[in-house]
Amino acid sequence: MPAADLPIDEEEWRAFVRAQGFGHLVAPGAGRDVPVVVPTQYVYEHPVVLAHVAAPNPILAALAERPTAMLAVAGDWAFIPSSWKAIDDEDPALGIPTTYYAAVQLTGRVEVIEEPDALAAVLGRQLRALQGGVEVADPATEHRRRLAAIRGLVLHVESVEAKFKFGGNVDQAHRRAVLARLEERASPRDAAAAAHLRRRIDGLSVRDSAFRR
């Protein structure tokens, strides 16, 4: 991965993963033509990811074959037209279009939780994180009969791949030109992309070597 696309530090990718809250859980299983991919809400509590699925979910069979999975999270993307990449007397028609985005993949061992009290504890942690200060019923008591219909998943993160592609391969002048266009266009996704770009323009630089947790 180009050094220009690496996260500034660990907290940058952790904050992104926490903020997104939704991704794709990918389990390779064993001897399968393709992995099982499940879109899921999750909660990231370093160093684990918490999620749950319905008991018939096919990812459980893949995890039984091999208890390893990847959570793939991508977002904050914005298309950058070719003309935005040209400044001063550069020909707008010759600019190279691109897409800005952030993407993180968390890989590790997955613990499948079925025992009612342990499962209720996982659900409680998810609810408290997702619903903030809203009071919620205790799953261990109020929803105990329904727990048999689901399984908790705890992904113990062992490796991380993170990419923040926000114009790190060009100089500050070209970055500032794109930032101005993002702020002007102001589509629903542009604000998030602009925040990533602005953070880099403000003097933060990416690390020189590939990040591996």
Question: Domains, the chain, ranges and CATH?
Answer: 3-201 (2.30.110.10)
Q: Scanning the structure block, which residue is given the tokens 């993949």? A: 105
For residue 137, the model assigns a pLDDT of 60
Share of the chain above pLDDT 70, in %: 89
For residue 204, the model assigns a pLDDT of 47
Q: Scanning the structure block, which residue is given the tokens 């990416």? A: 206
Q: Which residue, 159, 48, 17, is CA-closest to 111?
A: 48
Backbone angles phi, psi at 30, to 5 degrees: -140, 125
For residue 143, the model assigns a pLDDT of 60
Q: Tell whether the model's pLDDT for residue 27 goes beyond 90.
A: yes
**Contact (CB, 8 A) for 110 and 153:** yes
